[in-house]
Homo-oligomer: A and B are copies of this chain.
Amino acid sequence: LFRISDFGFRIFIVMRIVDLIHAKRHGRPAAAGDIRRLVEDYTSGKIPDYQVAAWLMAVCFRGLDDAELAALTDAMMRSGEVFDLSKIDGVKADKHSTGGVGDKVSLVLAPLAAACGLRVPMISGRGLGHTGGTLDKLESIPGFNVNLSGAQFRRQLARLGVAMIGQTDRFVPADKKMYALRDVTATVESIPLIAASIMSKKLAEGCEALVLDVKVGNGAFMADRRRATDLARTMIAIGRRMGRRVAALLTDMNQPTGRAIGNANEVIEAIECLKGGGPDDLRRVTLALTERMLTLGGLAGTRVAAAALIRRALDSGAALELFRKTIEAQGGDPRVIDDTRRLRLAPKDGVVLAPRAGWLSNIQTRQVGIAAAILGAGRQTTDDRIDCGVGLWYESRLGEKLEKGQSIFRARYRKAAAWAEAERLLAAALTLTEERTPPPRLILGTIDE
């Protein structure tokens, strides 16, 4: 006749989700089946936003235990298309970065790791806010198509060993919907929710081994090392529960990675790196992550052996050649490899100079990313269009002595008003001091499986 809950009686479906919120509010873990149903019913629209918003906020305070986290990640992953790569020979491995400014590591790492023998099924995102996105960078290569079908993706992965694509609407829709809700309810910053979001997408790719590049610093999502370590450990725990090999590197994001910040200019820098040049920090981070992918994937027994494989792939030109083939396979113009001027930059030049002599002791990296976005290299909302040709070059490094009038940033831009605002932000983002502040370490640590 009636169903009786603690507060009277209500219809069954409403009661269930209220009880789930209530339990989380009071710190009681949910059964895996209840978490799965929450994700399924939210994705299908059976549960309203306001109930999930309340649950998410309760999760921000109470966290999720390992079993809940695995259930959440698994349910999110299964909310859409999951790639089955089991018929493709070789070890499928990928890298994920938590995002930063000037982070073009994927462009170098994907062909490099594949040239070393791994299969790299890389599904990337777009830039938003102060961070750039691999897809936007790839699309600055004329003709490059990031929208392959599942079949095309698998075919290219089997043939070349690497494919670099974007998410379709059918890929982890639960995460899309939940992320949009978190964004407007102040529930983005939550280690379990961030970890489940990242891992649901990476595991849906079908990779067996995954290296996480967890950025730490004022241009990263996590400003302090303790929280970054927590996030890394949480993602590793999810991976282990779901039978994948996962490890993490903590790397510095207190200044941009490399020099270029933008899209076409980042591709140029990535190509330089594949040719054996490029900025030292970009090279070091890329190699460290690729080494870890190789040992994790079982292609090298030690870091030294992995480094040797990598050196050969770079020195032989195999990695560069694989990037060329990837571009060609995905409809892009492969001539950009040899003639990077085909990656057209915006016409106007700008520069930010040191207002006086001093040691570069701090840079507000997030503001640098926002300055690049203001030029048109990034997005305010997901609907905005990117201007591939605009960008910044960070020409200094923390811990360097600058002379008065020395160039700290160069820019290529299209609109004077945007440059005026970006220039103001960049000038305000710098701290020059009379005493030298030691620069941050680039690689802070490795967190293993």
Contacts and interface: CB of A to CB of B under 8 A. Distances in A.
Interface of A: 1-2, 4, 7-10, 14, 18-19, 21-22, 25, 48-54, 56-58, 60-61, 128-130, 181, 183-188, 370, 373-374, 380-381, 417-418, 421
7 contacts: A2-B373, A8-B380, A9-B129, A18-B183, A21-B57, A22-B186, A49-B53
Given A18-B185, A186-B22, A417 B54 contact: no
A421 B1 contact: yes
Given A8-B129, A185-B18, A54 B56 contact: yes
Most B CB atoms within 10 A — which of A8, A183, A380?
A: A8
Count the copies. 2
B186 A18 contact: yes
Given A8-B128, A8-B130, A185 B418 contact: no
B184 A18 contact: yes
A51 B2 CA distance: 32
A22 B181 CA distance: 14
A210 B54 CA distance: 33
A51 B1 contact: no
A185 B8 contact: no
Contacts of A188: 7
Contacts of A57: 21, 25, 53-54, 57-58, 61
B54 A14 contact: no
Nearest to A190: B25
B184 A380 contact: no
Contacts of A185: 18, 21, 50-51, 53-54
Nearest to A221: B7
Given A25-B60, A60-B25, A186 B2 contact: no
Nearest to A425: B4
A370 B10 CA distance: 12
Contact of A48 (B21, B49, B374): B49
A6 B130 CA distance: 10
Contacts of A128: 8
Contacts of A18: 183-186
Contacts of A14: 184
Contacts of A421: 1-2
Contact of A53 (B25, B54, B60): B54
Contact of A374 (B1, B374, B418): B1
Contacts of A48: 49-50
Nearest to A130: B8
A21 to B, nearest CB: 4
A24 to B, nearest CB: 8
Contacts of A53: 49-51, 53-54, 57, 185
B50 A181 contact: yes
Nearest to A18: B186
Contacts of A2: 370, 373-374, 380, 421
